[in-house]
Amino acid sequence: MTIMATVGLLAGRNKFLPTIAWIRQASITSVAPPSWNDTQKFIRQLNAKEGGGKYRLPTEAEWEYAVRAGTTTAYSFGDDASKLGEYAWYDGKAGGGTHPVGQLKANGWGLHDMHGNVWEWVQDWYGRYTAATAGDLAVDLPGPAEGAFRAFRGGSWRNNTRDCRSSFRVNDDPGFRSPVVGFRVLRAVE
């Protein structure tokens, strides 16, 4: 199981999104990569241990808002794909595997590994998604109420620069497992 998490507080940046904090930077690895179903089990156990329902996966809109860090460009650092290696582990840099979180540059809000390294499961079912426009970047658009597939975002160490763009999205069955898919947990801040 790969858990990608980084330092960052999004509180007060947006009146539409709940106040959330990304868990302090950590990288945890085990033999089996997590399915979306596995992430839910992990989160239930974490919430039981910590008391309450503070932890969860981000929605697609929250994930995209966090990766963009106030930008409207292809990547959090601009549109120049040749700079991706400064921020992401992808097929042109990764050397055939994942890397510990936080070794490369963070985005403008201090979040590491939002592009590349591993895809990140999000809470939403996969469906029609209207990427946020410049004026809508702050809005937490609701995902579909139901579906057959769950979404994941961010690209991985096996992907090219195009697949690591802020807006790129893919999906699979909630039971799907792959060594290129992990997750990022957020915590509600009271």
CATH code at 155? 3.90.1580.10
Summarised one tens digit per residue, pLDDT across range 102-114 is: 899 999 999 999 9
Question: What is the domain extent for residue 160?
Answer: 3-188
**Cβ 37 vs Cβ 150: under 8 Å:** no
Low-confidence ranges of the chain (pLDDT < 70): 1-32, 129-141, 190
Q: What b-and-e string marks burial along 44-62, b requiring 16 or more CB atoms within 10 Å of the CB? A: eeeeeeeeeebbbbbbbbb
Please tell me the predicted confidence (pLDDT) of residue 29.
43
Model confidence, pTM: 0.82
Tally of domains within the chain:
1
